[in-house]
Each structure stands twice: as structure tokens, then as C-alpha cells.
Structure 1
Amino acid sequence: MTVKLDPQLMDILACPSDDHAPLRAGTPADPEADVLTCTACGRGYPVVDGIPVLLLEEATPPVAPGEQG
């Protein structure tokens, strides 16, 4: 299922890590995933029932180039 969040909300959401980079819907490997991915560090934040869970403890680690996630 594709993440569908208000475009204005997506404009203001950012990764809670120190780099505070913008987030994008899906992952590089699966653009339809219910995840928001940091454009800088690559962490994935789950979207549960339409609500982004932007907690570092809940994030999936970034996938190194060449690995599949």
C-alpha cells in the first residue's frame, strides 16, 4: 500500500536524526512501502494506520548500496 499523506504535511516532515533531512514516501527498493525514508541518512520510518512514527527507536536502519531491504 502506498503512503498517502497530505503534500503540505510531507513538506514539513523531516527525519528526527541530527541531519533533519526531508522524507520521501516508500523506499528505494519498494516505492509502494508504508514507510517514509530519510533522503540523507536512509532510515525508514513506518507509517501505521496513516500516521508516521518518527521515532529513532522505531526506524529501520539504512540499507547499504547493493543490499536489498
Structure 2
Amino acid sequence: MTGPTGVPAAVPVPVPVPVPAPALEPWLREILRCPVTGATLVDGVGPDGSPELVSTDPDDPLAYPVRDGIPVLLADDARPVGRTAGGA
């Protein structure tokens, strides 16, 4: 395909658009607990903008990734939140 000047016309290239993960059903979020502390979990957003479930434990808050709408409640995948270096 060429444009009016005889130069090949640019073909639009589809750009992938990130699709937000579907929100968890309220009944499911209500029964899920942090596997490390047993605290309830609330919706959060990770440093990279991805969805997370964050424990409400005041002493040891952890964030768990939500991948493709599925919470990954594995202690090895948890990320500490709300703490600075030195535990302050």
C-alpha cells in the first residue's frame, strides 16, 4: 500500500494495552487471610502498579501479588511493606 506521494504508507501496529486484573469477589476476599500472620487482606497496588493483597497486620504487613486475577498467597512471594531499613 502506498500513500499519495508513492511512498509506502505506514501500517499501524497494534500496541498491547495492559488489562487490569478483575477484582476479587467480596466473599472470597472476606475468607482469605495472610498465611504468615493470619491477618485480613485488603486490596493494594505494588510499586510497579500491579494489584496486590496487603495484610493488615500492624507488626508484620506483607503484600501478596495477584496474577491474572488469582492471589498468590505464598510466603516466598510476599513482599514486606511499610518498613524502612533498620525496622523503623
Q: What is the TM-score normalised by the length of structure 1? A: 0.75
Higher relative contact order (CA 8 A, sep 6+): 1
Give the root-mean-square deviation of aligned CA atoms. 2.2
The answer for the alignment partner of 1:49 in structure 2 is 68
- Count of residue correspondences: 62
Larger Rg: 2
Aligned to 1:39: 56
Deviation at 1:2, TM superposition (A): 6.9
Deviations 1:14-60 (A, max 9, x none): 0000x201000015x88x75000000021000000000000000011
Query: Which residue identity is paired with 1:20?
Result: G
> Percent identical across equivalent pairs?
39
Unaligned runs of at least 5 residues, structure 2: 1-19
> Residues of 1 paired with 2:53 and 2:66: CA distance?
7
